[in-house]
Amino acid sequence: MGILTFDRLMDGSLFMVRFLLGFSLLSVLACSDKSGQCAPIFFGGEIVNPTSDYVVLYHNDTYVDSVKLDANNHFSFNLQGIEEGLYHFDHSPELQYIYLKEGDSLLARLNTVEFDETLVFSGKGSEINNFMIEMYLAHEAEEENPIVQSYYLLDPEDFSAKIDSMRSIKMNHLKDFAKESDISERVLAMAEASIDYNAYISKEKYPFYHKKKTGEDTFHELDDSFYAYRKSVDLNSRDLTYYRPYFNFMKLHFGNLSYMTCLENCSTDKKPVSDHLHFNKHKLAMVDSLVSEVGLRDILFRNIAIDYLLKERNPNEECEVFINKFRSLSSNEDHKEEIVLLYNAIKNLQPNAKVPNLLLRDTENNMVQLKDVVNKKENTVIYFWTASQKRHFRNISQHIETLKKKYPNHNFVGINLRTSYPQWKLLVEEHGLDKNSQFYGENFKEIQTSMVVDGLNKCVITKDTLVVDGFANLYTSL
């Protein structure tokens, strides 16, 4: 599943997920506390061209176990008494979902050069996992297909027919799969979710994408049939809480509901209220009234708070009001702490603030401070990249060369994140990057937080160790 814009699990921004690394198997015990009462689960495999020494297994946001690759790049987990359901395994900087149940003996093989495309499962339990990978790749292809994206230009009835047709093809494939495989109702429900929620996401996007693509002044009128699927959606699914398509749907759904409700009840002349605080308070209230599943409520509240702060960017009294409202609704103390850290980081990236004091590593394996890297006479543009986002790496490298010609008096500093140090050095060599302006992000979490890296096009512009623009974009700010 890559780390799309550093998306580690559920969100399109680096801050959109936080793994809680406390070892807590008690929270996932499923069948008996007596040793031997549950059929063991084996999960192992081979990773070609590994980018890390470890494979780490999570259930929802809880660490389950980690194993080190052996000399042949093989790994194996032997698990006892864990809950059936959706897990994800992490081979930094990549991750992907896996469905586990009692008695599974599952082997995975993949090549990190094309992580998702080469991931294949075999053994007992492989059928559902191969199916879900197939659906994931099909959706990825649709997202990149210009013909599919052009559907947003269509009228609602025609657009809905196109999306329903694509969904039906996948559902028919699932029916054939279910006939050939001995799968439980719970497994079937997960497979259906891998199809349904990506289709529902497209429909939630439609009014906004259609308006933007057509240039229409107002939103297209949609009759009740367009959103008929909403009647069958479970807004309190514990099993799907940490499943990306479901969570992305929930984000868009509540954003859509809040926007349209606000447009109807709070605006004048059918023009949307542009106040970020007003709109995001609507979203908090909507989630509070419709979602009762505690874990899901908390990560939705967290997502709304992060989205608000990243868009607001300016510390002010309204931010304080919003954070207090968020804190009153959330029951997750870690999320509350995270939002405060984000808010403080935003304050520290305001104009004329000192550049965060971060440690980086250069190509000679020396530790250097960011404040010593920035050019004290000229503007410095600090940008970020990662090895796993190959297309972005190619594009951004070309774009930086263009910017260097356009701004010869600017200094451009690249910071690599979530790549192994040897792999980073190799990429710098292979692509002929300037070794004096490329640095390795030693402490990913610290850099992520301090520099508020909410997307791979984010950059920070400085002069004389002071921030000029802490929230610049490489493609729009220069």
Residue 31: give its domain's CATH number: 2.60.40.1120
146/261 same-domain check: no
Residue at token pair 């394996």: 365
Q: Is residue 352 part of a domain?
A: no
Tens-place pLDDT, residues 359-373: 999 999 999 999 999
Is a pLDDT exceeding 70 seen at residue 255?
A: yes
| Structural domain boundaries enclosing 428 | 359-473
Q: Give the model's pLDDT for residue 403.
A: 95
CA angle, 101 then 106 then 109, to 5°: 140
219/278 same-domain check: no
Chain mean pLDDT for the chain: 87
Find the mean pLDDT for residues 300-324.
92
pLDDT over 70 percentage in the chain: 91
**From the CB of residue 205, how many other CB atoms can be counted at a distance below 10 Å?**
13
Is a pLDDT exceeding 80 seen at residue 139?
A: yes
2/101 same-domain check: yes
Distance CA 166, CA 151 (A): 12
208/262 same-domain check: no
Q: Is residue 478 part of a domain?
A: no
Distance CA 332, CA 326 (A): 11
249/324 same-domain check: yes
Residue at token pair 């980018």: 51
Q: Which of 193, 209, 233 is the last residue of a domain?
A: 233
Distance CA 224, CA 210 (A): 18
CATH code: domain of residue 452 = 3.40.30.10
Q: Give the model's pLDDT for residue 376.
A: 73
Q: Which of 103, 122, 141 is the last residue of a domain?
A: 122
Q: Is residue 21 part of a domain?
A: yes
Q: Give the model's pLDDT for residue 67.
A: 93
Residue at token pair 């879900």: 132
380/400 same-domain check: yes
Q: Is residue 72 part of a domain?
A: yes
What is the total count of domains within the chain?
4
Is a pLDDT exceeding 80 seen at residue 50?
A: yes
247/342 same-domain check: yes
403/307 same-domain check: no
Q: Which of 122, 148, 172 is the last residue of a domain?
A: 122
Find the mean pLDDT for residues 197-224.
91
Q: Is residue 354 part of a domain?
A: no
pLDDT over 90 percentage in the chain: 64
More confident residue, 443 or 414: 414
Find the mean pLDDT for residues 145-159.
94
248/150 same-domain check: no
Contact 380, 462 (CB under 8 A): yes
Find the mean pLDDT for residues 428-456.
91
- The pLDDT-based confidence of 119 (bands split at 50, 70, 90) is very high
Find the mean pLDDT for residues 375-390.
85
Find the mean pLDDT for residues 32-39.
56
Contact 448, 422 (CB under 8 A): no
Is a pLDDT exceeding 90 seen at residue 389?
A: no
8/78 same-domain check: yes
Q: Give the model's pLDDT for residue 274.
A: 65
Q: Helix (H, G, I), strand (E, B), or coil: what is residue 72?
A: coil
Q: Give the model's pLDDT for residue 6.
A: 32
Find the mean pLDDT for residues 427-438.
92
Distance CA 285, CA 300 (A): 11
Tokens of 163: 């999306």
Contacts of 183 (CB under 8 A, 6+ apart): 127, 128, 191
Q: Is residue 18 part of a domain?
A: yes
Q: Give the model's pLDDT for residue 348.
A: 94
Find the mean pLDDT for residues 251-255.
95
More confident residue, 91 or 17: 91
17/114 same-domain check: yes
Residue 457 exposure: Cα atoms within 13 Å on the Cβ side = 10
What is the DSSP code (8-state) at residue 377?
S
Amino acid at 122: S
Is a pLDDT exceeding 60 seen at residue 4?
A: no
116/139 same-domain check: no
- The pLDDT-based confidence of 105 (bands split at 50, 70, 90) is very high
